Amino acid sequence: MLSNENIAIIKSTAPILKDRGVEITSRFYERLFANHPELLNLFNQTNQKKGRQQTALANAVYAAAENIDRLEEILPVVKQIAHKHRSIGVQAEHYPVVGENLLLAMKEVLGDGATPEVLQAWEEAYSIIANVFIEIEQDMYDEAAMQPGGWEGFKAFKVTRKEIESDAITSFYLEPIDKKPLPSFLPGQYISVQLHIEGEAYTHVRQYSLSDAPHQDYYRISVKQESDHDPEGVVSNYLHKSIKEGDTIPVSAPAGDFVLDTSKDTPLVFISGGVGLTPLVSMLKTVVTQQPNREVTFIHAARNSQLHALKGEINQIVKQIDSVKNYTLYSNPTEEDRKLKDLNTGYITLEWLQKVLPHNQMDFYFCGPSGFMNATSQALQQWGVPEERMHYEFFGPAKQLETVH
């Protein structure tokens, strides 16, 4: 337990952390990687370059400082981070290394503001926060390893099939080399893949949502090739161009808390943008087998039919199950697309949602690029959908969604 005096110190430094958090965490990462280059095997270097990881860490540290005497209030956020840590392979022995470098970075950035009392209070607070993470992550490691066919860390999977789903997205079917039974997963969960790319000093780890229903004898991921920008995406391009059927890749056990709640029977709306459809396809396939009478509206936004992945699979479900409705919006339809009789064009807006949905008493699950996430969440907030019925995931370090004022 932290003393009342130290609780007061931590809370009094929370505003400085809010202001200078990114500066501190940026300096922290520079120190961390200079002192422990082996940790470059774990961290996504593109997120570092774009500053996304620094911001995510600063927000988490700030939230912990504000809630230091009631950490249970931020437990859902801690669990979400712990899922990511477990999926990547963060270990208990990494915590002191991170703590030491975080404190040194704080001292450097805050200068005279980082008095010995402040640093001592933070050292104690960090150790309390770290222990919460370590305990939760240990439970997650045990759970992943103890289920039939379960494992800890990364295990070799063979790519048994590669299937082109659209101009940008290809699916990879993965089966364990050891032929042990494949643990199931909750629809919406992801795995991490760890690639050893020839000529690269460190491994590259990325997360991919499982895009098929659970209880198959394979895991399927559907990966968008990120080739629109320079430099192009490291892992997605390697998977598309270099990984062939028969190759093996290391995969960690399914993780993540963006999962379908099948204990409820409220109508569901799945809204996806681009490759963000992957976890929602898994949810759709689960709900139609486990709760076939539950009403579902599946909404997908894509640029056009060339980039519309998994279309056939979704249409098949819609044809067979009366309780599922399906809408597609193309922002940039092709000439061919314009001939479609049920074509919707443009982006998702509140007006459009109110046209296709009879009411808002539904659970909304959404996933897609940042702009899409903000637009969707703002439309739902304006419609009065409460926070507890909005479920979402970012395909990168979690960000704050913009609020409507």
Ligand X SMILES: Cc1cc2nc3c(=O)[nH]c(=O)nc-3n(C[C@H](O)[C@H](O)[C@H](O)COP(=O)(O)OP(=O)(O)OC[C@H]3O[C@@H](n4cnc5c(N)ncnc54)[C@H](O)[C@@H]3O)c2cc1C
Catalytic positions: 95, 137
Our CB check for ligand HEM shows the closer of 47 and 184 to be 47
Q: Please provide the distance, in angstroms rounded to a whole number, between the alpha carbons at the two ends of the chain.
A: 38
In the bound complex, what is the minimum distance in angstroms from residue 55's beta carbon to ligand X? 15
The token duo for 72 is 């249970």
In the bound complex, what is the minimum distance in angstroms from residue 192's beta carbon to ligand HEM? 9
Show the site string, 272-301: x = touches ligand X by CB under 6 A, - = not.
---x--x-----------------------
Among the listed residues 22, 40, 234, 390, the single contact to ligand X using CB under 6 A: 234
Q: Does 371 bind ligand X (CB under 6 A)?
A: no
Among the listed residues 2, 119, 128, 398, the single contact to ligand HEM using CB under 6 A: 398
The token duo for 260 is 């379908």
Determine the length of the chain.
Answer: 405
CA atoms within 13 A on the CB side of 343: 17
The region of 24-32, 70-78, 216-224, 355-363 touching ligand X under the rule CB under 6 A is 216-224
Cβ contacts of 199 within 8 Å, gap of 6 or more: none
In the bound complex, what is the minimum distance in angstroms from residue 136's beta carbon to ligand HEM? 11
Please report the DSSP string for 298-314 in residue order.
EEEEESSGGG-TTHHHH
Helix or strand or coil: residue 102?
helix
Applying the rule CB under 6 A, the residues between 133 and 162 that interact with ligand HEM are 133
Candidates 276, 287, 304, 296; CA nearest to 376 is: 276
Among the listed residues 57, 106, 168, 169, the single contact to ligand HEM using CB under 6 A: 57
Q: What distance in Å separates the CA atoms of residue 394 and residue 205, rounded to the nearest whole number?
A: 16
Residue in the block written with tokens 């997908």: 300
In the bound complex, what is the minimum distance in angstroms from residue 61's beta carbon to ligand HEM? 6
Among the listed residues 85, 107, 206, 294, the single contact to ligand X using CB under 6 A: 206
Candidates 293, 278, 271, 302; CA nearest to 364 is: 271
Applying the rule CB under 6 A, the residues between 332 and 361 that interact with ligand HEM are none
In the bound complex, what is the minimum distance in angstroms from residue 93's beta carbon to ligand X? 24
Q: Does 240 bind ligand X (CB under 6 A)?
A: no
299, 386, 392 from 360: Cα distances, Å: 15, 10, 17
Show the site string, 50-79: x = touches ligand X by CB under 6 A, - = not.
x-----------------------------
Candidates 31, 76, 168; CA nearest to 398 is: 76
Q: Does 233 bind ligand X (CB under 6 A)?
A: yes
- E strands within 303-347? 324-330, 344-345
In the bound complex, what is the minimum distance in angstroms from residue 76's beta carbon to ligand HEM? 12
Q: Does 186 bind ligand HEM (CB under 6 A)?
A: no
In the bound complex, what is the minimum distance in angstroms from residue 169's beta carbon to ligand X? 7
Contact 13, 65 (CB under 8 A): yes
Candidates 285, 355, 357; CA nearest to 321 is: 285
Applying the rule CB under 6 A, the residues between 257 and 276 that interact with ligand X are 275
Among the listed residues 190, 298, 364, 366, the single contact to ligand X using CB under 6 A: 190
Task: Name 344's bridge partners.
Answer: 329
Q: Does 122 bind ligand X (CB under 6 A)?
A: no
Among the listed residues 73, 135, 232, 402, the single contact to ligand X using CB under 6 A: 232
Buried b (16+ CB within 10 A) or exposed e, 175-184: bbeeeeebbe
The region of 80-88, 222-230, 255-263, 351-359 touching ligand HEM under the rule CB under 6 A is 80-88
Contact 325, 353 (CB under 8 A): no
| DSSP state at residue 255 | B
Q: Does 65 bind ligand HEM (CB under 6 A)?
A: no
Q: Which of ligand X, ligand HEM, none has residue 130 at its interface (CB below 5 to 8 Å by kind)?
A: ligand HEM
Interface positions with ligand X (CB under 6 A): 46, 49-50, 190, 206-209, 221-224, 226, 229, 231-237, 256, 275, 278, 393, 395-396
